[in-house]
């Protein structure tokens, strides 16, 4: 089993629960428990070890054009120090992964990918390099640097104040912007104002050697503001309330960005990108299904894979992709992938089969949670 | 180390059973609640319904997972712990004080299958190794 360089720092902490997460030994929760960790991020701040995430660097002449062709969203408007959320598709429109792209310079890009997909993504990203596309990309360097980076996420309304203790310029970093060479605790790190919780926050990419000191220093700096270490359990409920997709649930190689309601991140204006032809065809012929939000009327947790029905009908119209009891709203919520053309509207009732019982749910607007704009 | 109460009976599915005449109160053990994590919903059986031994009778939903509860004693459900409808987290707070349901058992031979506290303790120790 793989461990992050921070594993030894917290594995013996009281109350920490470590699980196997796709071959990684990672904390599902710390001593506060999932619910308290969730509330800490919504109300003050939480610290996550997300070092399992993968990083790939694409560097050299033509790297911008090269990366752009792999992505559904265009990186051509990205300036140095800016971050973009995007997807990569296969030629058939199925999703390879979702990721964020950091433009370090016009010839250097830092790609952050999902842990479970590192090998697959890297070989996909590198596959069309030298040879397949003539000499244009011959001098490109594509490197899987996942093992060289730790990633810490400080998330929540107090994240800015807490990180500012260690890095006074933190507040100057705009949303989806980054500083490639910030200094924390004497180490050079990359800091971006990004996250996976639906709150304000930062992600810090640092060397394995520096991670324990930065982790501990952040916990000390944030103690009075209520910063606590948080595990994957809270990360999942936080991202779901904010309707942020999770690979293997809302997105996968058998789901297109249009089906997952992520067309905002598909820029068709470009001459070509992987998946464009298939996605245009799907758009023209009609997208067969769509991702929607539900709130249970009857009690019960809708979970991944459960069937979704129109009331009284025998044939399912879809399935649940993710579900939980939302700690912030108190409701049982879920995302469902359902057929288009069912005529279902916001407020309509449908049924979810939970433990062999049909339970009523209401179609609701998403996200389930939106942060208060404090500025 | 999980808490095990001497006077109760247990199953390998981490249920505890408290015999009261021809009625048995059934809940989940401390080990089970700790494994399951914070419980957010308990699906209770209906009073009056009958179940065989090993039937799925209730389910506990935590922030992490759903766990089915299997009925250890054949019989008719005579009580359910309705407090759990609004405060399922009571099971985490004290899983022995907060039973899930009570069953009027119809086949007392099934009682012989149950583990005593020492056997259950040995069983969970073998799991934790």
A303–B66: do the CB atoms touch at under 8 Å? Answer: yes
Residue at A111 is within a domain: no
Task: Please indicate, yes or no, whether residues A45 and A152 belong to a single structural domain of this protein.
Answer: yes
Q: Is the pTM of this model over 0.90?
A: yes
Is B63 close to A299, i.e. CB distance below 8 A?
no
CA angle (A252, A289, A356) in 5-degree steps: 85
Q: Is A46 helix (H, G, I), strand (E, B) or coil?
A: strand
CA distance linking residue B68 with residue B56, whole number of Å: 6
Query: A109: Cβ–Cβ under 8 A, 6 or more apart, which residues?
Result: A57, A58, A59, A63, A64, A67, A75, A101, A102, A103
| Domain that includes residue A9, residue range | 2-52+148-241
CATH number of the structural domain spanning residue A333 = 2.40.30.110
Q: Do B41 and A300 touch (CB under 8 A)?
A: yes
CB A300 within 8 Å of CB B43: yes
The reply to whether A48 and A197 lie within a common domain is yes
pLDDT band at A127 (very low <50, low <70, confident <90, very high): confident
**Residue A132 pLDDT exceeds 60:** no
Closest approach of A223 to chain B, Cα-based (Å): 24
Token pair 């610290």 is found at A47
Tokens standing for residue A134: 């003539």
Of B56, B61, B68, the CB nearest to A301: B61
Phi, then psi, of A121 in degrees rounded to 5: -65, -45
Which ranges of chain A would DSSP assign to H, the alpha helix?
A: 7-10, 34-43, 63-70, 118-127, 159-166, 211-222, 232-241, 276-285
Which residue in chain A is spatially nearest to B40 when comparing CA positions?
A325
Q: Nearest residue of A to residue B41 by CA position?
A: A300
Residues on B contacting A at a C-beta cutoff of 8 Å: 37-38, 40-41, 43, 56, 59, 61, 63-64, 66, 68, 85
Check: CB of residue B37 under 8 Å from CB of residue B62.
Answer: yes
Q: How would you class B112 by CB atoms within 10 Å of its CB: exposed for 0-12, middle for 13-18, buried for 19 or more?
A: exposed
Asked whether residue A237 falls in the same domain as residue A292, the answer is: no
Show the DSSP H helices in A44-155 as ranges.
63-70, 118-127
Judgement on whether residues A295 and A356 belong to the same structural domain of the protein:
yes
Q: What is the pLDDT of residue A373?
A: 57
Residue of A nearest to B35 (CA): A17
Residue of B nearest to A28 (CA): B64
Q: What is the mean pLDDT of chain A?
A: 95
Summarised one tens digit per residue, pLDDT across range A165-186 is 999 999 999 999 999 999 999 9
What is the 8-class DSSP label of residue A265?
A: G
Residue A97 lies in a domain: no
Compare A135 and A273 and report the one with higher pLDDT. Answer: A273
pLDDT band, very low/low/confident/very high, at B2 (cuts 50, 70, 90): confident
| Chain A residue closest in CA terms to B92 | A33
The model's confidence at residue B129, banded by pLDDT at 50, 70 and 90, is: low
Numbered residues of chain A with Cβ closer than 8 Å to any chain B Cβ: 17, 28-29, 33-35, 233, 237, 299-301, 303, 324-325, 327, 332, 355
| CB-CB under 8 Å, A33 with B61 | no
- Determine the residue of chain B that is closest to A234 in CA distance: B63
Its ipTM equals 0.79
Provide the number of structural domains found in chain A.
Answer: 2
**Could you tell me which residues come within 8 angstroms of residue A57 by beta carbon, excluding any fewer than 6 positions away?**
A108, A109, A110, A111, A141, A142, A143, A145
As a whole number of angstroms, the distance between CA A151 and CA A166 comes to 16
pLDDT tens column, B4-32? 999 999 999 999 999 999 999 999 999 99
The strand ranges marked E within chain A are 2-3, 17-21, 24-29, 46-49, 54-59, 82-89, 95-105, 108-113, 141-144, 149-155, 178-184, 187-192, 201-207, 228-230, 289-296, 307-310, 318-325, 332-339, 349-354, 357-364
pLDDT at B63: 87
Whether the CB-CB separation of B2 and B34 falls below 8 Å is answered with yes
The verdict on residue A102 lying in a domain is no
CA distance A301 to A298: 10
A165-173 — which CB contacts under 8 Å span 24+ positions?
Answer: A165/A221, A165/A222, A166/A214, A166/A217, A166/A218, A166/A221, A167/A191, A170/A202, A173/A202
Using an 8 Å CB-CB cutoff, list chain B residues near A325: 40-41, 61, 63
pLDDT one-digit tens code per residue, A21-75: 989 999 999 999 999 999 999 999 999 999 999 999 999 999 999 999 999 999 9
> Mutate which of B42, B59, B62, B64 to test chain A, going by most A C-beta atoms within 10 A?
B64
Average pLDDT over residues B80-101: 96
Asked if A295 and A332 touch (Cβ cutoff 8 Å), the reply is yes
Sketch out chain B's domains with CATH numbers.
Answer: 12-116 (2.40.50.100)
The dihedrals phi and psi of A372, each to the nearest 5 degrees, come to -70, 135
Residue pair A292/A338 in contact by the 8 Å Cβ criterion: yes
Domain contains A198: yes
Contact B40 A325 (CB under 8 A): yes
Per DSSP, the three-state class of A196 is coil
Neighbours of A112 (CB within 10 A): 21
Residues of B in Cβ contact (< 8 Å) with A355: 43, 56, 59, 66, 68
Least confident of A125-134, A195-204, A278-287, B32-41: A125-134
Domain boundary among A241, A274, A299: A241
Residue A23 located in a structural domain: yes
CATH number reported for the structural domain that contains residue A216 in this entry: 3.30.1360.120
Contact B66 A35 (CB under 8 A): no
């Amino acid at each position: 089993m793989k461990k992050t360089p921070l594993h030894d720092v917290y594995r013996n902490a009281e109350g920490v629960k470590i699980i196997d997460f796709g071959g990684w030994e990672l904390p599902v929760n710390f001593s506060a428990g999932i619910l308290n960790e969730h509330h800490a991020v919504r109300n003050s701040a939480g610290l996550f070890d997300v070092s399992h995430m993968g990083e790939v660097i694409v560097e050299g002449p033509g790297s911008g054009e090269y990366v752009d062709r792999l992505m559904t969203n265009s990186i051509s408007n990205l300036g140095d120090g800016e971050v973009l959320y995007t997807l990569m598709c296969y030629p058939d429109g199925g999703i390879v992964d979702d990721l964020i792209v950091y433009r370090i310079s016009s010839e250097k890009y830092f790609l952050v990918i999902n842990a479970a997909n590192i090998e697959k993504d890297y070989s996909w990203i590198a596959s069309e390099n030298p040879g397949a596309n003539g000499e244009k990309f011959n001098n490109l360097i594509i490197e899987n640097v996942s093992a060289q980076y730790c990633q810490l996420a400080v998330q929540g309304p107090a994240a800015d104040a807490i990180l500012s203790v260690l890095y006074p310029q933190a507040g100057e970093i705009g949303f989806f912007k980054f500083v490639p060479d910030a200094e924390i605790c004497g180490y050079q790190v990359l800091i971006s104002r990004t996250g996976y919780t639906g709150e304000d926050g930062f992600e810090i990419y640092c060397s394995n050697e520096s991670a324990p000191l930065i982790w501990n220093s952040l916990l000390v700096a944030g103690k009075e503001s209520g910063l606590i270490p948080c595990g994957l359990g809270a990360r999942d409920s936080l991202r779901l309330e904010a309707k942020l997709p999770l690979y293997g649930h809302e997105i996968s190689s058998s789901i297109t960005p249009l089906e997952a309601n992520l067309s905002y991140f598909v820029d068709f204006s470009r001459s070509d990108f992987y998946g464009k032809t298939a996605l245009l065809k799907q758009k023209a012929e009609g997208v067969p299904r769509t991702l929607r939000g539900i709130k249970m009327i009857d009690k019960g947790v809708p979970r991944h894979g459960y069937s979704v029905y129109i009331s009284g009908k025998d044939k399912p119209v879809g399935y649940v992709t993710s579900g939980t009891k939302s700690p912030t709203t108190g409701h049982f919520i879920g995302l469902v992938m359902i057929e288009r053309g069912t005529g279902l509207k916001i407020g309509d009732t449908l049924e979810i089969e939970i433990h062999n019982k049909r339970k009523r749910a209401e179609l609701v607007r998403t996200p389930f949670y939106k942060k208060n704009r404090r500025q | 180390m999980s808490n095990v109460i001497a006077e109760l009976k247990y199953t390998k599915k981490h249920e505890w059973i408290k015999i009261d005449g021809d009625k048995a109160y059934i809940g989940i053990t401390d080990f089970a609640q700790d494994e399951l994590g914070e419980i957010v919903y308990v699906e209770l059986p209906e009073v009056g319904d009958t179940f065989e031994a090993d039937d799925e009778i209730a389910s506990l939903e935590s922030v992490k997972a759903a766990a089915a509860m299997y009925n250890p004693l054949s019989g008719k459900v005579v009580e359910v712990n309705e407090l759990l409808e609004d405060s399922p987290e009571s099971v985490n707070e004290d899983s022995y004080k907060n039973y899930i349901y009570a069953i009027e058992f119809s086949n007392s031979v099934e009682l012989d299958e149950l583990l005593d506290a020492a056997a259950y303790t040995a069983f969970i120790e073998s799991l934790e190794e």
